[in-house]
Structure 1
């Protein structure tokens, strides 16, 4: 890989392209949603044009991600971008509204998978079971999490891991302690 290709793989444009593709959207689909031209969006994805804050807000909304997810590149020193994610520089993911706080551990969104640091607040639970076309593996670092995978119920704790592949799932932390887990998702969904 040439240096320019490495820089491209860890760019805002590359993340936008990865998010768009993960949602099955074409350039035309997203450009129409944004009310922009395909050419403009293509230039943004290739880092030839820099979107404004308003553009980023619209892009984040159209892709269903928090705007903060699109701001992680500038915080890392140039020599670390694409390689290292420092603990204090993780990009927040998801909305956090159900009591789940997620941070991206992967340097960007261009891999065939993503790695997430998840913290489930005490007495929190997923309101509606989800099902997505992914393979997911989780590893519990601390706390205890109740999982339902394809109508089977499990309680997992420190050192335990689990997997599901496209099955419906739900989680709950009915306990008084937060749960910290590492989650690997393929293909990326954020």
Structure 2
């Protein structure tokens, strides 16, 4: 007997599907968004969004995936699937607002007090505010362009590029232009600097072999 054949499985599925619409409405309202604003952000029409939230349209993956991305939540949080013994921790994003009302999203990927802290960040355009503090940081650009101000230097990092620096040096980082930038951000104490145990093999010279 499969899960679909079990008594009550169909009713449980319908209950889960029926809860998605109110959950979508609650997420949108928590962000202070209108249906028009969410439509502009996701490309999904206002009428479809309204029918999803009211339960008049059955949710499909091609609709739920862009909505999960827009709200900065895991897809299973929209579906609220039952626990299956999965040991992974689904961390909730922290949404910050700046004066321009564009959101900066910070998703903590680790919870290790006193050790390396790892974040995924989507940084919206914001004013520069140079800071200095104890520690050491690594920035890896995933999408967009990152402007790093380090002392009297300015560096523009593109996807796939990495910067590491001592945070005792005055610094600031944010989008290099008018669009958000997505990065991995690692922060640790000065003693947490990585010890490289393996490096790419040097390419063979033409005369080798």
**TM-score, normalised on structure 2?**
0.43
**TM-score, normalised on structure 1?**
0.47
Structure with larger RCO (C-alpha < 8 A, sep 6+): 1
Computing the radius of gyration from Cα coordinates, the structure with the larger value is 2
